[in-house]
Every structure is written in structure tokens, then in C-alpha cells.
Amino acid sequence: MAMSVGEIERLIREAIPDAEVTIKDMAGDGDHYAAMVVSSAFKGKTRVQQHQMVYDALKGRMGGQLHALSLQTAAKK
């Protein structure tokens, strides 16, 4: 079962409350998304650590309910 944009945003914002989240459905199939997540919680963290925070927020749904997510992250300035 595919995940909705709203569900992805909700999970990320629950784990990273100040996150600015932009998500696009890349294929129109509810399975392939691109996301940009900006948060002050990323300050001082490596790109890998930032991505891990987002993947952790998705609570194990990557590879199952959420097939593909092209992820970009940045710290708020």
C-alpha cells in the first residue's frame, strides 16, 4: 500500500517539529517521491545524519509502504 504525501509530511513533522517539508510525487503513482526537508535540528549534523533523522521519522516504512524517496536536507540558517 502506497503512502500519501500528507502521511509522509505528518511523520516527518512529528519527529522534527520545525521541519519545512516539500514533497513531490515524481511518477504520479504514490510510490516515488522527492522531498526537501529543512530544519534547525540539522545544524551541525552531516548530510548522512540529516538523512538518517528523516528515515527514522518514517518509522521503517522506507522500502515497504514507501518505495522510493529522493531526499534533500538542509539546516535552517
| Domains of the chain and any CATH numbers | 5-36+46-75 (3.30.300.90)
Specify the pLDDT at position 66: 78
Q: Is the pLDDT of residue 1 over 70?
A: no
Q: Is the pLDDT of residue 65 over 80?
A: no
Q: Which residue has the cell 528515515?
A: 55
> How much is the mean pLDDT over the chain?
91
Positive/negative CA dihedral, 65, 25, 21, 43: positive
Element (H, E) at 14: helix 5-15
pLDDT in tens, 3-38: 889 999 999 999 999 999 999 988 877 778 899 999
Specify the pLDDT at position 2: 76
Report pTM: 0.88
What are 67's three cell numbers? 518505495
